[in-house]
Amino acid sequence: MSAPSAKGNLVGSIFLGLFGSFFFVIGVGAAIATYQQGHSGDGQSVWVGVIMGTFFALVGAGIIYAAFASHKKGKKAVKLAAEHPNAPWLHRRDWAEGRIVDSNKVGFIFVLIFAVFWNAIAWAATIGVFKEGSNADEAARYVVLLFPLVGLGLAYAAIYQLMRWRKFGSSAFDMAEVPGVIGGSLGGIILTKVNVRPEKGFHLSLRNIKEVVTGSGKNRSTNVTVLWESEQWVKEDALADDPTQSAIPVLFNIPFSCSSPENVSSSVTIKWELKVKAEMPGVDYQSTFEVPVFKTENSDPDFDARAARDAETVASAPVVDWRKSGIVIRDDFSGATLVEARAGRNFIFLFVPLLIGLGMLVGTYFAWNSNMPKIFPIFLTIFGLLVTAGCGGALFTSLRLKIFPDRLESERRFFGLTKYASVNVSELDRLESISTMSSGEVHFYDLVGIKHNGEKVKFPLRIRGKAQADAMIKLIEDKISTDR
């Protein structure tokens, strides 16, 4: 993990402060100018202009405050890095203390600010376009309606986050040892603010992820790739007799091949994320922690995380009902076990992204025929096609996987096109699951057969969740011959 520098911290804080100052000056100027000119004009326009200007000024003030807070926090990080140059897990105070508070409160504040910011602009633009006497043509009016609809979705997300935070508060992860060890384990206990007693137990996941930030401004987006992941179910509450809180034990074994946290570049970051979830009446419990997991002198290159995981004492995951997942498993007339992943099985999770992609393409027509700059509908078309193609491909692709004792055969079908793949068990070294796409917090996994020579054979089952993907791997391994 690259150590923070004093120069980089100062430059970043100055840039953030200037960015906030721009918003503040523009907002104050717009509010004053609108108010001074408004008495002779449309009263509704004055109201909208003053509100918008004031909001921009408040956003700018908030960014300026964040710049000062970031600089202060950065100075502490630089000092810790200088004191512990070879121990990056001591560069953050919470990591060094071994007590990490979840991100629920920060997540709620971020979603709230973004939702308010989006809705303020979207609804102001909508009012301006639809007000009596507007010069906007009919096409522009239909396009602008997309933005307040998205704003309503963001408002719902913010309200849900608030309800979760008020119900459960902030949880803390007390580490058994700092740091967690690659080629070793991560252990500790999660302490909740209130007593949480889920009927199905707690679902824990540990992910090694890579975040890639692309674009800038309103086109900024973050792509998350799961490099490694492990999941488990825990029924045990270490404080079962305490009615005021719960204590969730954590123990994950981590293979040596994983990557340490690192800022690879200004846009690429590798980190570790511990997440706990539980189904509850009303709002579900969920907490997320960014945890320190590094290669240290205690890392064992020969550590077998899978064997150690199999020996762990954890609650069994709920039995997978494959039919509810849109997957049918039955005996085939050929003598094989047939795994049939039907098209449209993930409709619930991909419908909204697909609708957004189609909305972009529909909006392109109106935007092109409006007075907007042509660059806007061009970008709208590109993003709409990418989103629609990705979601549509996942929705309308089916797969038939035949499991013979000595081989695996697959047929992938997409609108009449069929692609075949096969691998002999004697050539197969192992089966793995890889995250290929996501919708919100839901990740979808394909299976990959890795041969002894390193070649890979992909079986795109698009299984929802790591637990189900691992269950499918176990099912296949139980069916095929073990003589490899």
Residue 276 has pLDDT above 90, yes or no: yes
> Residue 61 — pLDDT band, cuts 50, 70, 90?
confident
Percent of the chain whose predicted confidence (pLDDT) is above 70? 76
- Extract the runs of DSSP E, i.e. beta strands, from 139-295: 172-175, 180-181, 184-191, 202-214, 221-234, 247-254, 262-263, 268-278, 285-290, 293-294
Q: Is residue 184 helix, strand or coil?
A: strand
Highest mean pLDDT, choosing among 57-71, 94-108, 283-297? 283-297
Instruction: Give the CA-trace dihedral at 240, 241, 243, 244, to 10 degrees.
Output: -80
Check: CB of residue 406 under 8 Å from CB of residue 481: yes
Give the pLDDT of residue 3: 52
Check: CB of residue 254 under 8 Å from CB of residue 291: no
Q: Is residue 234 helix, strand or coil?
A: strand
Distances (CA, A) of 126 to 4, 19, 327, 365: 44, 26, 44, 19
For the stretch 230-265, pLDDT in tens is 888 888 777 777 788 889 999 999 988 888 888 766
Distances (CA, A) of 270 to 1, 363, 410: 9, 36, 34
Tokens representing 248 are 């969730």
Prediction pTM value: 0.64
363: left (phi over 0), alpha (psi -120 to 50) or beta: alpha
| Rounded distance between C-alpha atoms, residue 93 and residue 79, angstroms | 11
- CATH class for the domain made up of 170-300: mainly beta
Residue 161 has pLDDT above 50, yes or no: yes
Neighbours of 218 (CB within 10 A): 7
For the stretch 162-178, pLDDT in tens is 888 889 988 999 999 98
| Rounded distance between C-alpha atoms, residue 54 and residue 478, angstroms | 64
Q: Is residue 435 helix, strand or coil?
A: strand
Domains in the chain: boundaries = 170-300, 327-479
Residue 291 has pLDDT above 90, yes or no: yes
Residue 379 has pLDDT above 60, yes or no: yes
Distances (CA, A) of 130 to 27, 47, 122, 319, 370: 23, 15, 12, 53, 15
Highest mean pLDDT, choosing among 127-136, 143-152, 179-188? 179-188
Tokens representing 422 are 């096969």
Diameter of the chain by CA atoms?
A: 88
For the stretch 190-228, pLDDT in tens is 999 888 888 888 999 999 988 887 655 555 566 777 888
Tokens representing 2 are 């690259």
For the stretch 308-324, pLDDT in tens is 555 454 445 556 777 77
Per the prediction, the chain carries an average pLDDT of: 78
What is the distance between the terminal CA atoms of the chain, rounded to a whole angstrom? 40
